[in-house]
Structure 1
Amino acid sequence: MIVRFMILLVLVLPAVASAAGYNLPDFTPLIEKSSPAVVKINTVTKVKQGGLNLPPSHQIPDIFRHLFEPREMPERNMHSMGSGFFISADGYLLTNNHVIEDADEIVVRLVDRREFKAMIIGSDPRSDLALLKVDEDDLPFLELESSEALKVGEWVVAIGSPFGLDFSASAGIVSAIGRSIPTEKNENYVPFIQTDVAINPGNSGGPLFNLEGKVVGVNSQIYTRSGGSIGLSFAIPSAVAINVVSQLKEKGRVDRGWLGVVIQEVDKNLADSFGLKKPQGALVAQMERGGPADKSGIRVGDIILKFGKSTIVTSGDLPHVVGSTPPDTKVPVVVMREGKKKTLRVVVGRLPGGADAPPALSSSQDSGLDRLGLAVETVDAALKDKWRLPGGVRVTRVDPQGAAADAGVAPGDVIAQLGFEQINTFEDYTRITAKLPSDSLLPIRFFRDGRPTFRTIRLQ
C-alpha cells in the first residue's frame, strides 16, 4: 500500500508542475470587478387554476345544477428565476426574453443584497432578449463589447445564478462562433457563440465575459439530455445585443431586414451542378412574389454568395446578415446564376409579423385616424379585469407613418396616459388628444399584454 502511494506521488507531481507551466489565466480580478453589476432575477406570474371537467348542463338534473354553476377560479403564483446585468448606471439592464415572458412581477437582486422592482422597456422574442429598467441611479454596470473580434479558443467567463445558486462563476473557451440554431418557428436571426462554459438553468440572461472584462455575449440556452451542463452552451453575441437594445430604447420594438426568400443548403452535388468549386452560399428555393428579392431581380435557383460585405459560407449565414441590416438599405448582392457570377442591388425590406412588432395597417387603410395616427375604442370590462386596468382606450388601427407608430404604439395596446393626464374613458382620450400641443415631446403610457410601458410622442 505504501509503495503504491509513493508511485502515485511520482506520477502526479510532474503533471502538476506541467500544468503550472501553462500560465493559466487568473479570473479573480475580473470576477471581483464585474459581479456587482450582475443581478439575479426573480419573477412572479399569476395563473388561474384549472376547473373541473363537467358534463354538459343538460345532462345535470335541475336539483343539482346550482352546484355546478361557473365560479371564479382562484389564482396561484408561479415563480421563476434567471440572471441579468446592468448596462448603464441609470438602471437599464439586459436579460433573456424567456426569463421575464408573461411575468406580472419582476424583482432584481444585486450581489450586495439590494432588491429593486423592474419594469419592461421592451422585449424581442426573435433574439430572446429583453430590456428592463429599475428606478435607481449610480448603479454598477458592464460594457458590451462592440467589436466582433471574438475567436475560437479564447477564454470566456460566465456569472449567473444556476439552480438558484447566486452569483456563481464558471469559465471555459469559445468552441465555435456563428452557430445557427433555428427557433420553434424556424426563425434564425442569431449567430450564437458556442462555449464549453458550465451553463445551467438559472444562468439564462447572464453575461459572458472576455478576459478584458467586457461582455461578449448573453447566455441564452444549452444543449443537454440530462437538464444540466454537458459542455454545449450558447450565448447571444454582444453585437446583436447592442442593436436590439438601441432599437428597444428608441421605439420599443426591433425591426429586421427581410428578403422574402426560402433558402436551402448547397451540398457538393449542387455546387458541381451550379459551377461552384466547393459547396458555399444559400440556394434560393422559393420567393415571395413582390418581395424585396423579387423586386431586385433575384431568381429561384440563384445561389447567394455575398450579401454586402459578408460572405455567405452556409445558408444559415444569410438570415443573420439580412436580419441585422436596417430595412430600406440598398445592398449589393453577388449571386451565382447559370454558372456565372452576377451582382444585383437589393433594397432590403422589413421583416413582417412577430410579437415584437404587431403589424400596422397599410396607408391605404388609414382614413378616419386621429392626430396621433390611431383609431381607438373603449376598453371592455373583461380586458380591464384581466389586466387590472382603471380604464383607458384600446388601439384598433395604427398609421405606420403617424406619431403613435413612431412612439412604438401597436394594435392591441391600451393607452392609459397622454401628456400628464390620465385616460379612463373614450371621452377623456378625445378631449386630451384635441388639445395636445404640436412639436412637443410628451410622455405616453400604454399597456401591452398587461405590462405598462412609457414612451415619448411628438405631434407634428
Structure 2
Amino acid sequence: MTLNTAQARSYPDFTELVEDASPAVVNISTRQEPKSRQRLQFHEFNRDLPDIFRDFFGKPFPPPGKGNKTPAHSLGSGFIVSQDGYVLTNNHVISGADEIIVRLKDRRELEAKVIGADERSDLVLLKIEASDLPVVKVNTRAVIKPGQWVVAIGSPFGFEASVTAGIVSATGRNLPSENYVPFIQTDVAINPGNSGGPLLNLEGEVIGINSQIYTRSGGFMGLSFAIPMDVAMDVVKQLKDKGYVSRGWLGVMIQGMNKALAESFDLEKPMGALVAEVLESSPAEKSGFKSGDIILQFDGQEIKESSDLPYIVGRTPVGKQVNVDILRKGEKQTLTVTIGELPDKRQAVDKRQSKDQISSNRLGITVKTLTTDEKEQSDLAYGVVVDKVLDGPGRDVGLRPGDFITDIYNEKVDSAESFNEIVDKLPANKSIPMRLVRHGKPGYITFKITDE
C-alpha cells in the first residue's frame, strides 16, 4: 500500500530533535572482575521464564568458566543532565561493576564514578569530569497522553546512537517489580543496550528513561516501559543532596477492589485501596487505621485504583501530616496521619498453622481457635485457622486448610465459637467480605451463602 501525500505529511519528522538530543546521549560500558557462576545461572533461569518483566542491558555479566580470568563486560545507555557532568542511567546497567566508562558521541571516553543509586526506582546518578558537555532538555511537567509520538535513542546490541520511534501506549502503569514508579508504556522498539537511554517527545525533551520490557523471548515484543522524568529528577535531587532516596511510608498492605468486593462493602463501583493489613508500629497503626478500611483519598488526591496509593505516599515528604479519607463499615471518615520513612528492608514473618477447637458452619469448613502462643508465633492478634474444607461456599471460593481467617463481614473473629456465631447471622444471597492470611500475606475475598 502506497501512502498518498496527505498521509505522508501526517507522520512527524524526527531528524531535528535527534540531531539536537543525540550528542548528550552516551554509551555506558562496564567491567567486572570474575567472581562466581551464580549470576549466569540466575540469568539463564530467568530467560526461560514466560511472561516476565526484564531489565535489559547489552551483554549481562557472564561469569567466567573454570580457569577463565577474563573480566566480564556489559553495555547500556544514559544521558547527560547537567553541564557539570552528571549522567543518569538505570541502576541495573552498572550494578556490580568495578569500572564504568562513559563514551560520548564525539568519541571521548571518560571514567565515571557513582554518586548514588536507588534500587527501588532502578536509577543511578553518575559523574564524569569534562568540559563542553552537551546536555539534554528535561521536562518534568510534560503532559503525556496515550497516542502521542515518542522517540528513543540508545545503543541496542551495541549499535550506538540508534533511533526508534512509536507512541505512548499508556501511562501510570504499575509493574510487579516496582510499586513506586508510575511507568510510561510505549510501543517504541527497545532492546538490550537501550536500557538507561532517554525517551523524548516531539519537542526534543526527555520525558522518560527506558527501563524495562515485557517479553517472553528476551527481545522486544511491543511492550516497553519508561520511568517518568518527574520521578527521575526527584531521585537525582536526593542523590545529589544526601546520596540516598527517602520515601514516605504509611505502613499498610493493600489490595485492589473488584466488583464483588465493592458490592460487599456497599460501594457503587470498584474504587480505592482496600487495607488488608496494618503493620505493627507503623504510622497507619498509630493513626487508627484498621483492616477492612477502604482508602478513597490521600492528602486531597483521589485513589481510583490501589496501585495509585504507593506512588502517592512514596512522594509525600517524611514527617508531613496528611488527611486520609476512608470508608469504614459503610461510613466515611477522615484520619490524620504523620508520614514515616519507608524502611530499607522488610522482613517477612513466618506464619504457621495452629491447633485447637474444631467446629463446622454454613461455609462448609471446620476451623480451630488460635492459642496465645500460636498467635505470637504467627504474628496475629486474633483469628482462626481453617482445618478442613468440605462441600460448600468455602470450597467454592478456594479456601484451603491452613488459611487464617481474621474478619468476616467487618467483624473480628477471635475464636471458633465467635466465627460460627458470625457465620450463622450472615445474610443470604449477599456478597460477604472475608479477610484471610495465607502464607503470611493478607487479603480479602468475597463469598455468598445461598438460601436452601
TM-score, normalised via structure 2 length: 0.68
Runs of 4+ in 1 over 4 A off after TM superposition: 72-75
SS in 2 for 1:314: coil
SS in 1 for 2:260: helix
Q: 1:139 to 1:354 in 2, by over 3 A?
A: farther
Letter in 1 for 2:333: K
Alignment match, 1:94? 88
Alignment match, 1:136? 130
SS in 1 for 2:147: coil
Aligned equivalents of 2:72, 2:180: Cα separation in 1: 30
Letter in 2 for 1:47: P
Alignment match, 1:238? 229
**Offset from partner CA, 1:76-102 (integer Å, 9 cap, x none):** 311000000000001001000000001
Letter in 2 for 1:27: F
Letter in 2 for 1:270: L
Contact persistence 1:332–1:346 (CA under 8 A): yes
SS in 1 for 2:137: coil
Give the C-alpha shift of residue 46 in structure 1. Answer: 0.8
Q: Within 5 Å, which residues of 2 pair with 1:92-131? A: 92-131=86-125
Contact persistence 1:48–1:73 (CA under 8 A): no
Give the C-alpha shift of residue 49 in structure 1. Answer: 5.5
Matched, 1:32 2:19: yes
Matched, 1:248 2:239: yes
Give the C-alpha shift of residue 195 in structure 1. Answer: 0.2
Contact persistence 1:50–1:73 (CA under 8 A): no
Matched, 1:270 2:261: yes
Pairing partner for 1:224 from 212, 215, 218: 215
Letter in 2 for 1:156: V
Pairing partner for 1:320 from 311, 317, 331: 311
Matched, 1:151 2:145: yes
Letter in 1 for 2:120: R
Pairing partner for 1:177 from 171, 179, 184: 171
Alignment match, 2:32? 45
Fraction of identical pairs, as percent: 58
Contact persistence 1:48–1:75 (CA under 8 A): no
RMSD of aligned Cα (Å): 1.9
Letter in 2 for 1:20: A
Letter in 1 for 2:305: T
Which ranges of structure 1 fall in alignment gaps of 5 or more residues?
A: 1-11, 52-71, 356-460
SS in 2 for 1:332: strand
Contact persistence 1:49–1:74 (CA under 8 A): no
Give the C-alpha shift of residue 28 in structure 1. Answer: 0.6
Letter in 2 for 1:182: P
Pairing partner for 1:339 from 303, 321, 330: 330
**Offset from partner CA, 1:22-56 (integer Å, 9 cap, x none):** x21111110000000000000001123569xxxxx
Give the C-alpha shift of residue 138 in structure 1. Answer: 2.6
Alignment match, 1:20? 8
Letter in 2 for 1:108: V
Which ranges of structure 2 fall in alignment gaps of 5 or more residues?
A: 39-65, 347-452
Q: 1:50 to 1:313 in 2, by over 3 A?
A: closer
Pairing partner for 1:295 from 278, 286, 291: 286
Aligned equivalents of 2:102, 2:345: Cα separation in 1: 27
Give the C-alpha shift of residue 290 in structure 1. Answer: 1.8
Alignment match, 2:342? 351
**Offset from partner CA, 1:240-287 (integer Å, 9 cap, x none):** 101100000000000011111110111111111212111011100001
Contact persistence 1:155–1:173 (CA under 8 A): yes
Aligned equivalents of 2:193, 2:104: Cα separation in 1: 15
Q: 1:352 to 1:111 in 2, by over 3 A?
A: same
Aligned equivalents of 2:338, 2:280: Cα separation in 1: 15
SS in 1 for 2:220: coil
Give the C-alpha shift of residue 75 in structure 1. Answer: 4.3
Letter in 2 for 1:306: Q
Aligned equivalents of 1:336, 1:325: Cα separation in 2: 22
Contact persistence 1:153–1:175 (CA under 8 A): yes
Deviates more, 1:148-157 or 1:167-176: 148-157
